[in-house]
Structure 1
Amino acid sequence: MATTTGPTPWRLAGVWWLALTAVAIAVFALLPYVAQPLDDLAADGSELAANYADRPAWLRLCLYAHMTGGGLALLLSPIQLSARIRSRAPRLHRWTGRAALAAIGIGAASGLVLAPHNLAGPVGVAGFGLLAVLWLTFAALGLRAIRRGAVTAHRRWALRAFALTYAAVTLRLWLVALVPLTGDFLTAYRVVPFLAWVPNLVVVELLLRDRRAAHLPR
């Protein structure tokens, strides 16, 4: 009996969606902060920029470190998760893996520092703080697994880390949906500290119940 070994059209479409949205957010979400100072963005109505425009220099530096680390990790994720690149260009996979791990370290550490100063209040401290801790933990466990030669465990931790990296995308998608429903940005933002990443992680855990998920994405 013939069997199909390639990814299904739905799975392929999902992989392309993840890759394209990851790259789009990594590039376009950072552009305003590269092109303009925080003061100018705040004057243009950016609540996030306004929250940090008058903060001490070290905290503003943490904001840029978080955006840069998270953006780089997001940009490298499609390369890291590609089975074709893993098999055909293992050296590229290793080097981008090291860069992604460093980016996650920077993004998670600075995110943990930023959590107590976020716009969402106590729920933001808990949601974004836990996100930072788990993000760094999953990446570290993935590194530990591959150093021990546990390839399947490495891939599983990498998928979990990606679920949290992708929170940068889902946070913005939730805001697009919630701002019109709640009527203002701040109300919507108070909803997303857990919503941005917990569903992502739940989906990955459900996928990992299937052993074939260890080989995703293709």
Structure 2
Amino acid sequence: MTSTTAPPAVAPTEGTGPGSGRFPWTVVLLTSLGIVGYVVATYAQAGLPLDGSRGGLAATYAERPLGIQLAFYVHIVTASVALLVGPFQFSAALRRRSRAVHRWTGRVYLAGVGLGSPAALVMSFVSSIAFDGFFGFGSLALLWAWTTWRAYRAIRGGDLPNHRAWMIRSFALTYAAVTLRAWLGVLILLQTLTADGPVDGAHVFDTAYAVLPFLAWLPNLVVAEFLIRRRGLPSYRITPA
């Protein structure tokens, strides 16, 4: 069995992707802005110390070598930029009013992923959850770069349907920054509600976080592929070799 790219079943509409409906697009935009605001409040205001002290640096990376700490901050900044501008790539109104703005936000998004994905890959080698973090977050970093590159290649070749399809996949992986925290909250809440007796906060957090390296992004890709097929854009299908 192999995966092949099927041709569009119908002509794609102007408003493909998360921005094809006003309410879903607004939800995506507001949740993305919320996570960016959280990141700024958590890390930027702490002065970005790179001397091994905890400060604004996550505990996992606080005692790591300088290169790992730099990768952490590069990822935090550039992934936030990609998450911030990503939703606007799917705004049909923006494309109609100003193609130039659409192209420039696309370039900013491409730069954010281009810098954020290798930094994320470096971070996966020192994940606090060992092999789960390495394989889960490492796979996310590689797929994030690959889908974005395919979107860029498609638009450079004038293939608009494939560009839109790959941008949906790319942003689905960018949006893992949101779904990771959403799943974390849900899993912590479920453990708390079903616990018999006192709740060990550290244990509950560690148990919930252990499945996030894959749970944060695999469902996103499933939803992305559903949206791609629903809009008649080129999708991946399993066919006999």
Please state which band the TM-score falls in when normalised by the shorter chain: 0.7 to 0.9
Please identify which structure carries the higher strand content.
2
Please identify which structure carries the higher helix content.
1
Query: What is the DSSP-based 3-state SS (H/G/I as helix, E as strand, rest coil) of the residue aligned with 1:118?
Result: coil
Structure-2 separation of matches of 1:6 and 1:60: 40
Structure-1 separation of matches of 2:160 and 2:36: 27
What letter corresponds to residue 70 of structure 2 in structure 1? L
1:39 corresponds to which residue?
54
2:32 corresponds to which residue?
22
Match of residue 117, structure 2, among 100, 108, 111: 108
* Superposed CA RMSD: 2.1
Pairs within 5 Å for 1:1-218: 11-36=21-46, 37=49, 39-41=54-56, 49-182=58-191, 183=201, 184-211=204-231
> Post-superposition shift, 1:106?
0.9
What letter corresponds to residue 227 of structure 2 in structure 1? L
Structure-1 separation of matches of 2:211 and 2:190: 12
Q: Is the 8 A contact 1:27 1:71 kept in 2?
A: no
Deviation string 1:97-138 (CA, Å, 9 cap, x unpaired) is 111001001110100010011122211111100100000001
* Segment drifting more, 77-86 vs 98-107: 77-86
Pick 1 or 2: higher relative contact order, CA cutoff 8 A, min separation 6: 2
Structure-2 separation of matches of 1:119 and 1:168: 17
TM-score (norm 1): 0.86
Structure-2 separation of matches of 1:35 and 1:163: 28
Q: Is the 8 A contact 1:22 1:166 kept in 2?
A: yes
> Post-superposition shift, 1:166?
0.1
Q: Is the 8 A contact 2:162 2:233 kept in 1?
A: no
Distance 1:157 1:40, change over 3 A: same
What letter corresponds to residue 198 of structure 1 in structure 2? L
Query: Which 4+ residue blocks in structure 1 deviate beyond 6 angstroms?
Result: none
Larger radius of gyration: 2
Q: Is the 8 A contact 1:69 1:103 kept in 2?
A: yes
What letter corresponds to residue 64 of structure 2 in structure 1? R
Structure-2 separation of matches of 1:164 and 1:209: 18
> Post-superposition shift, 1:186?
1.8
Q: How many residues align?
A: 202
Q: Is the 8 A contact 1:142 1:154 kept in 2?
A: yes
Report percent identity of matched pairs: 44
> Post-superposition shift, 1:27?
2.1
Q: Is the 8 A contact 2:164 2:233 kept in 1?
A: no
2:11 corresponds to which residue?
none
What letter corresponds to residue 54 of structure 2 in structure 1? D
What letter corresponds to residue 55 of structure 2 in structure 1? D
Unpaired runs of at least 5, structure 2: 1-13, 192-200, 235-241
2:8 corresponds to which residue?
none
